Amino acid sequence: MGARKDTFRKILHYIRRYWFFVALSLLFAAATVALTLYFPILTGQAVDQILGPGRVNFDRILKILETAAVIIVLTAVSQWIMNVCNNRITYHVVQDIRRDAFAKLEILPLKYIDSHSYGDVVSRVIADVDQFADGLLMGFTQFFTGVMTIVGTLCFMVSIDIRITLVVVLITPISLFVASFIAKKSYSMFRLQSETRGEQTGLIEEAVGNQKVVQAFNHESRCQEQFDEINARLEKCSLRATFFSSLVNPSTRFVNSLVYTGVGIAGALSAIGGGISVGQLSSFLSYANQYTKPFNEISGVVTELQNAVACAARIFELIDEKPQVPDREDAKELHDVKGYVDLEHVYFSYDPKQKLIEDFNLSVKPGQRVAIVGPTGCGKTTLINLLMRFYDADSGRILVDGEDVMGVTRKSLRSNYGMVLQDTWLRNGTIRENIVMGKPDATEQEIREAAKASHADSFIRRLPNGYDTVITEDGGSLSQGQRQLLCITRVMLCLPPMLILDEATSSIDTRTEIRIQKAFARMMEGRTSFIVAHRLSTIREADVILVMRDGHIVEQGTHRELLAKKGFYAELYNSQFSGRS
């Protein structure tokens, strides 16, 4: 209950920004209801003008019909303006929530992204917001008008006969009790439905994005089994949520029929006794029908609102996530970086129960080429994450040119690094747009020079539209090697003072790799370079090789020095070449 109240409070916070349209919507909702409820009075008055055969006051009836026509037109206009306001409120609120959710994704720590399914996150921002919008729109459209109709009809009925009105009031709580009981039951099921839908979206996203892997390892049947299992759970919780929510309408309709019956019997007895006229009885029956109708509509709205609130709760969970630690107010901008990098007594682990990097110390001078090698899970990629501040160290210090990275802005720190990883980073757009990502103001000549240096220019010019060829985020028809060359070109264009190369040539053929290595050699001249390598043949020329094991540097030196030691590095190196003739 507390969680739902908190969710409602947050929804109201977003709606409050558009108070003018809310006020306008309520105003025209009240006008619509008032005009609608005035119509039965005109009907009753018209009925009372028919006294018997040959005793019909046609002049009075004509005037009543003229008034009724004006009422109908005004009601239609009021309802149209109200709906326009409701749509404006709903889609502005949805726009704000989506913007805030996406903005939060931009500042969330990578720990959150790494620990949550991409599909579930996408489901929250897209599907859950859409479900919330549907419920919110229905709430504005029917909930307020329904409540006003109930209050208005009661007032009109009291003005006609208070005794018959008491019959209506006494039976009404039964309908409210039924709707409230079912709404509480359906909320938890709609919440489970939303979570399961997010889980399903995650599986579909993974399966579609990695379909080649799925087929290569004959994982289709297992993937289908996983989908069927989640789909069956989604079907089960969706059916239960729908079943309980569908009970509301027939239950309230049954109670409302009792109300109508009670009004009809009490009104007929009153009319026979001369308490009210036949026309007033006609108006009363019309009001009884209008009074009960909103209960059916509101019961449907409550069901939709339960779904909307359940979806909103998941969205707000994302929006309320703690962002990454912001830059300090006195954070400095890194300028004219030389390339000194020092790590002093650095400790870090992804899970406090599972230690990884402990008391890590390293000192790198400008222009040094530092290779980092070691078995899987030893901390190579973690070290890169710490250098770029994708993660912050648990303790210890990382310094660049003597400045603690915790005291400089992330933007200035990262702009001084150039990264080429084994996984390619491309986005929807032209080849040119992908290359200039780090330097948007680059000239055409600079772009082509960088492409020539990375040996990408030749294949780019062979594409249908050259540098204006549009590619998707997965590279489209480009090979893995060509995508890698584009990422290398991007770094060649910026040439920052520090470089991080993580198996940068792993997807490139041997002939091109030799040329790329020469280009890298030119690019690394005078620049501090960190080279994460699995193929040890590519790091023989490194100034210093760090051999990592279980988060520690166990050996350090040049290629020849480490081979001469016949230690762990020599063991790794020989294991790669022992099978070759």
Q: Is residue 546 part of a domain?
A: no
Domain end position, chosen among 471, 495, 519: 495
Using DSSP, state whether 418 is helix, strand or coil.
strand
With the CA atoms of 441, 442, 444 and 445 taken in that order, what torsion angle do they form, in degrees rounded to the nearest 10? 150
CATH, residue 21: 1.20.1560.10
Stretch 375-390: mean pLDDT: 82
pLDDT at 175 over 70: no
Instruction: Please tell me whether residues 88 and 214 are part of one structural domain.
Output: yes
Stretch 254-266: mean pLDDT: 73
CATH, residue 448: 3.40.50.300
Residue pair 400/332 in contact (Cβ under 8 Å)? The answer is no
Domain end position, chosen among 447, 477, 495: 495
Determine the Cα–Cα distance for residues 37 and 14; give it in Å rounded to an integer: 32
Q: Is residue 411 part of a domain?
A: no
Q: Could you please report the per-residue DSSP string of 506-559?
A: TTS-HHHHHHHHHHHHHHHTTSEEEEE-SSGGGGTT-SEEEEEETTEEEEEE-H
pLDDT at 579 over 60: no
Q: Is residue 464 part of a domain?
A: yes
Lowest-confidence region among 87-96, 171-180, 373-382: 171-180
Lowest-confidence region among 108-122, 211-225, 244-258: 244-258
Q: Which amino acid is at 220?
A: E
Determine the Cα–Cα distance for residues 311 and 132; give it in Å rounded to an integer: 6
Residues 160-176: b if buried by 16+ CB within 10 A, e if exposed:
bbeebbebbeebbebbe
Predicted local distance difference test score (pLDDT) of residue 77: 92
Q: Which tens digit of pLDDT belongs to each residue from 487-521?
A: 888 888 888 889 888 776 665 667 767 767 776 77
Strand partners, 530: 370, 500
Instruction: Please tell me whether residues 47 and 188 are part of one structural domain.
Output: yes
First to last CA, the chain: 72
Q: Which amino acid is at 573?
A: Y
Q: Is residue 244 part of a domain?
A: yes
Instruction: Please tell me whether residues 79 and 206 are part of one structural domain.
Output: yes
Q: Is residue 130 part of a domain?
A: yes
Domain limits at 182?
Answer: 2-319
Q: Is residue 505 part of a domain?
A: no
Predicted local distance difference test score (pLDDT) of residue 394: 87
Stretch 363-379: mean pLDDT: 83
Residue pair 469/417 in contact (Cβ under 8 Å)? The answer is no
Q: Is residue 514 part of a domain?
A: no
Lowest-confidence region among 94-108, 128-142, 308-322, 500-514: 500-514
**CA 448 vs CA 90, 97, 175, 421, 482: distances in Å:** 48, 42, 74, 22, 15
Highest mean pLDDT among 77-91, 116-130, 537-551: 77-91
Burial of residue 480 (CB within 10 Å: 0-12, 13-18, 19+) is: middle
Predicted local distance difference test score (pLDDT) of residue 397: 92
Q: Is residue 570 part of a domain?
A: no
Domain end position, chosen among 461, 495, 529: 495
Q: Which tens digit of pLDDT belongs to each residue from 131-158?
A: 888 777 777 777 777 777 777 777 777 7
Residue predicted with more confidence, 420 or 187: 420
> Which residues contact residue 185 at a Cβ distance below 8 angstroms, ignoring those fewer than 6 apart?
244
- How many independent structural domains does the chain possess? 2
Say how far residue 352 (Cα) sits from the centre of its chain. Answer: 28
Residue predicted with more confidence, 302 or 313: 313
Lowest-confidence region among 88-92, 247-251, 367-371, 500-504: 247-251
Lowest-confidence region among 30-34, 58-62, 170-174, 382-386: 170-174
pTM comes to 0.64
Stretch 360-371: mean pLDDT: 87
Burial of residue 295 (CB within 10 Å: 0-12, 13-18, 19+) is: buried
Residues 19-30: b if buried by 16+ CB within 10 A, e if exposed:
eebbebbbebbb
Return the residue matching tokens 């489209």.
476
Q: Which tens digit of pLDDT belongs to each residue from 195-240?
A: 788 788 777 877 776 776 777 777 778 888 888 888 888 888 888 8
Stretch 243-261: mean pLDDT: 72
Predicted local distance difference test score (pLDDT) of residue 506: 62
> Which residues contact residue 149 at a Cβ distance below 8 angstroms, ignoring those fewer than 6 apart?
33, 36, 37, 290, 291, 293, 294
Stretch 364-380: mean pLDDT: 83
Residue pair 464/476 in contact (Cβ under 8 Å)? The answer is no
* Token reading at 213: 């892997």
If you average pLDDT over every residue of the chain, what do you get? 80
DSSP state of 438: G
pLDDT at 581 over 50: no
Q: What is the 3-state secondary structure (H, E, C) of 138-184?
A: HHHHHHHHHHHHHHHHHHHHHHHCHHHHHHHHHHHHHHHHHHHHHHH
Instruction: State residue 387 phi and psi, 5-degree precision.
Output: -60, -40
